[in-house]
Amino acid sequence: EDFVREKLRKKMWRLKIGEGGNDPYLYSTNNFLGRQTWEFDPSAGTAEERAEVEEARLNFYNNRYNVQPSSDLLWQMQFLREKKTQQTIPQPKIEDGEEVTYEVTTAAVKRSVHLFSALQSRHGHWPAENSGPMYYIPPLVMSLYITGHLNTIFSREHRKEILRYIYCHQNEDGGWGLSIGVHSTMFCTTLNYICMRLLGVGPDGGLNNACERARKWILDRGAVTTISSWGKTWLSLRQELHTEPYDEIDWSKKRHLCAKEDLHYPHTLLQILLWDSLYLFSEPLLNRWPFNKLRKKALKVAMDLIHYEDENSRYITIGCVEKPLCMLACWVEDPNGIYFKKHLARVVDCLWVGEDGMKLQGVASQSWDASLLLQALLATNLYDEIGPTLMKGHNFLKNSQVRDNPPGDFKRMFRHISKGSWTFADQDHGWQVSDCTAESLKSKNGGYPAWEPAGGAFWWEWLNPIEFLEDLTKEYEHVECTSSSIQALAIFKKLYPGHRKIEIENCIRKAAKFIEDVQYPDGSWYGSWGICFFYGTWFALSGLKAAGKNFKNCLAIRKGVEFLLKTQREDGGWGESYLSCPTRFYLPC
């Protein structure tokens, strides 16, 4: 019993909102509004509350192969405890054949509304996990290890939770996929293996022999030399994951090797010729005078761009993939410099803790989640009951708006207008997002991309070096972003009918035309930010409706409705496999 109590005592994490502390390397544009950081508190909670957390972890682990995503329970349990929330509305129950009445429906809606009101943070937003890919956390661990700060930034409890996350999402075959719940890849299996080793797990250790099973998966598939190009950047273990002595490996012949599990987007012949030519001819020249001066100048320009992006995102960076790389570059430039120290101060902003362990956020989603939840709450018409909740949410969004463009000649630094926009996360993040804003990112075809104006030649994709991801070298328009922008402009036009009326009407017309043009023959739309055709169709129909279209005057809406009707399941719901995303065809679950 004493052992169990001691075990539970060490496992309480608390989510803190809006705290900047006294760290001299932290700064904010709006007093850290919406900032989310996790802190380990060994004295937090009662024995009963700690046992509740442990039970949630155990339940997830035991059911991990059936339900891969976490339910994000830890912060919810914390908030409900702190606010002493009790659900007083009984849960409605509908028997087969029983009529669904207005009263029963209203009771169900009120239960949900009261729950989400209780889960609102004191800053007005709703915390949430935004993770899933299994290549997020290992590069951060590697960067901290390389710089010598792994044990100062990550305590014993941090390391324990990171390992918990890795163990919880190891596939039955011993590997890890690009994201949770998908087939294993050499890239993610290798990165997570190295991550476990850096965190102190022995070569045959880990829960259920995690390391041994992962190493077997790697060696059975031709060893780590077949890892995708992005993975080759991070390789560090020179013995355990190779089938031949490291010093005898001819890496020039391994450059284009890629395990079949990782090969989603093969290199073109043009790209192979380009990379090989650059290696054979450019590399020797750029290491010799006077050509080495050109390389030195190029590196200086690259560092200037990194510093500019770091400063204008308050060292959160655009996302967690860039964070370790930018931090490592700053350390190489000056291990004791202020840039690197500012990066270290923001590492905790990227972390999230759930019942499945500690993971890295792709990017926090405060503004996005607050916007969607406020729309859902407003749709209930229960204004009198949740007035304070709506007011807090409104104030959060109002105070999270980006107030200025990036400083200086931002176009020369490959940035764009951001004044008046919203980010996906909070104001400190600084990166405007179209479906959190609207007009400034419109493309010539009427559609809207996510981060920046679409552009670039089609052949740029021929030079995409990442074998397991596609559509990376240029920005593309998305149905979701376009729909959100139409809806925002339509509401603005209604509130301010005389302001830039012709421009807004033309913009909405072109955006609606874009949505109609990208509809699939079966009536659906492909969604890039969710799974997948139902998600895209939801946004598309909402955007067309906001543009003034309806079932009678719009063929696209009629086809979209037909798609939804013919894909409804017998139980009345809808379901879709995540495989719709890579195949780009609707696949029912």
Q: In whole angstroms, what is the distance from residue 167 CA to residue 213 CA?
A: 11
Q: In whole angstroms, what is the distance from residue 298 CA to residue 129 CA?
A: 37
Q: In whole angstroms, what is the distance from residue 314 CA to residue 32 CA?
A: 11
The first and second tokens of residue 294, run together, are 């050109």
All residues at 6 or more sequence positions from 363 whose CB lies less than 8 Å from its CB, including other chains: 130, 318, 319, 320, 424, 425, 429
Give the SS3 label for residue 472.
coil
Tell me the torsion sign for CA atoms 498, 500, 503, 509. Answer: negative
- In angstroms, how far apart are the furthest CA atoms of the chain? 84
The first and second tokens of residue 356, run together, are 């499945």
Instruction: Check if the beta carbon of residue 575 is closer than 8 Å to that of residue 588.
Output: yes
**Residues annotated as part of the active site:** 435
Give the SS3 label for residue 42.
coil
**Which burial class, exposed, middle or buried, applies to 117 when counting CB atoms under 10 A from its CB (0-12, 13-18, 19+)?**
buried
- How open is the CA angle 65-189-155, to the nearest 5 degrees? 85
Q: In whole angstroms, what is the distance from residue 180 CA to residue 175 CA?
A: 11
Chain centre to alpha carbon of residue 182: 17
The first and second tokens of residue 185, run together, are 């890849």
Helix (H) or strand (E) holding 352: strand 351-354
Residue burial 560-582, b: 16+ Cβ < 10 Å; e: rest: beebbeebeeeeeeeebeeebbe
Residue type (1 letter), 393: G
Q: Where are the beta strands (DSSP E) in 191-252?
A: none
Sequential DSSP letters for 307-325: HHHHHHTTTS-SSTTHHHH
Q: Which residues pair with 354 in a beta bridge?
A: 357
For residue 521, cis peptide bond before it (omega within 30 degrees of 0): no
Q: In whole angstroms, what is the distance from residue 428 CA to residue 127 CA?
A: 16
Residue burial 491-501, b: 16+ Cβ < 10 Å; e: rest: eebeeeeeeee
Give the SS3 label for residue 525.
coil
Alpha helices in 533-579 (DSSP H): 533-546, 555-567
Compute φ and ψ for 36, nearest 5 degrees.
-125, 120
Q: In whole angstroms, what is the distance from residue 287 CA to residue 362 CA?
A: 36
Phi-psi region of 45 (alpha: psi -120 to 50; beta: other; left: phi over 0): left
Instruction: Check if the beta carbon of residue 399 is closer than 8 Å to that of residue 367.
Output: no
